[in-house]
Amino acid sequence: MKPVRRIVTGINAAGKSAVIEDGPAVKIRSVPERPGYHAAELWVTHASPVPVDDPDRVAGVSTVGPPAGGTLLRIVDFPPESEDPTEREKAQRATFSTLYPDAEHRPADVHPGMHLTDTVDYAIVLSGEIYAVLEEGEVLMRPGDVLIQRGTSHSWANRSGEPCRIAFVLIDGRRAGR
């Protein structure tokens, strides 16, 4: 798929708003056991409200979720999943052990990619199609569809035969009783 372009604005030396960076995403994570899966980490914040001139902190991203009190912008390319259940489970286990060890991975649930995080996530399908899988039911999402994921156990299943690209905004949250 086409590389993700990241454009960052700021205040230049003359005190004017300007583009201070324009180029491909600087941090892209992938999993060898899951060809075609790429997570472009685009921006991370560490507080709310965030200082508008906060520096780029994306180099430190190594988890599924944002830092405490922060947010994370990520674009993920989901390749079609294997029809072989063993291969599908192997790819999901590798994804969570390699990229997202902090997620509460639940591979024995209704889909081997089921996981839980203490976040509110805005998931916006940019291209392709994908199923958002929940413990009870699933919904097919297409370009322009938006899912507001509120700390529920969920997974993503691309059964289309074509890649799917989703933009995620993850917001640190808290669960009652935790």
Helix (H) or strand (E) holding 26: none
Please tell me the least confidently modeled range out of 16-20, 70-74, 107-111, 141-145: 107-111
Percent residues over pLDDT 70 in the chain: 99
Determine the structural domain holding residue 71 and report its residue range: 26-172
Q: Is residue 59 part of a domain?
A: yes
Q: How many domains does the chain have?
A: 1
Q: What is the mean pLDDT of residues 149-170?
A: 97
Of 131, 127, 178, 135, nearest to 153 by C-alpha is 135
Q: How many CB atoms lie within 10 A of CB 75?
A: 20
Q: Is residue 18 part of a domain?
A: no
Q: What are phi and psi of 98, to 5 degrees?
A: -85, -50
Q: Is residue 4 part of a domain?
A: no
Q: Is residue 162 part of a domain?
A: yes
The per-residue pLDDT for 178 is: 63
Q: What is the mean pLDDT of residues 137-157?
A: 97
Q: Is residue 20 part of a domain?
A: no
- Per-residue pLDDT of 30-72, as tens digits, reads 999 999 999 999 999 999 899 899 999 999 999 899 999 999 9
Q: How many CB atoms lie within 10 A of CB 37?
A: 23
Q: Is the pTM of this model over 0.85?
A: yes
Enter the DSSP assignment of 29: E
Q: Residue 105 and residue 48: Cα distance in Å, rounded?
A: 27
Q: Residue 68 and residue 173: Cα distance in Å, rounded?
A: 8
Q: Is residue 32 part of a domain?
A: yes
Is 168's pLDDT higher than 90? yes
Q: What is the mean pLDDT of residues 80-102?
A: 94
Q: Buried (b) or exposed (e) across 92-128, using 16+ Cβ within 10 A?
A: bbebbeebbeebebbeebbbbbbbebebebebbbeeb
The per-residue pLDDT for 91 is: 95
The per-residue pLDDT for 136 is: 96
Q: Is residue 132 part of a domain?
A: yes
Written as six digits, the tokens of 29 are: 């994570």
Is 171's pLDDT higher than 80? yes
> Terminus-to-terminus CA distance in the chain, angstroms?
39
Q: Residue 153 and residue 129: Cα distance in Å, rounded?
A: 20
Q: Is residue 50 part of a domain?
A: yes
The single-letter code of the amino acid at 107 is: P
CATH number at residue 84: 2.60.120.10
- Per-residue pLDDT of 100-134, as tens digits, reads 998 999 988 999 999 999 999 999 999 999 999 99
Query: Which residues, including other chains, have CB under 8 Å from residue 100's CB and lie 6 or more apart?
Result: 63, 64, 115
Is 159's pLDDT higher than 80? yes
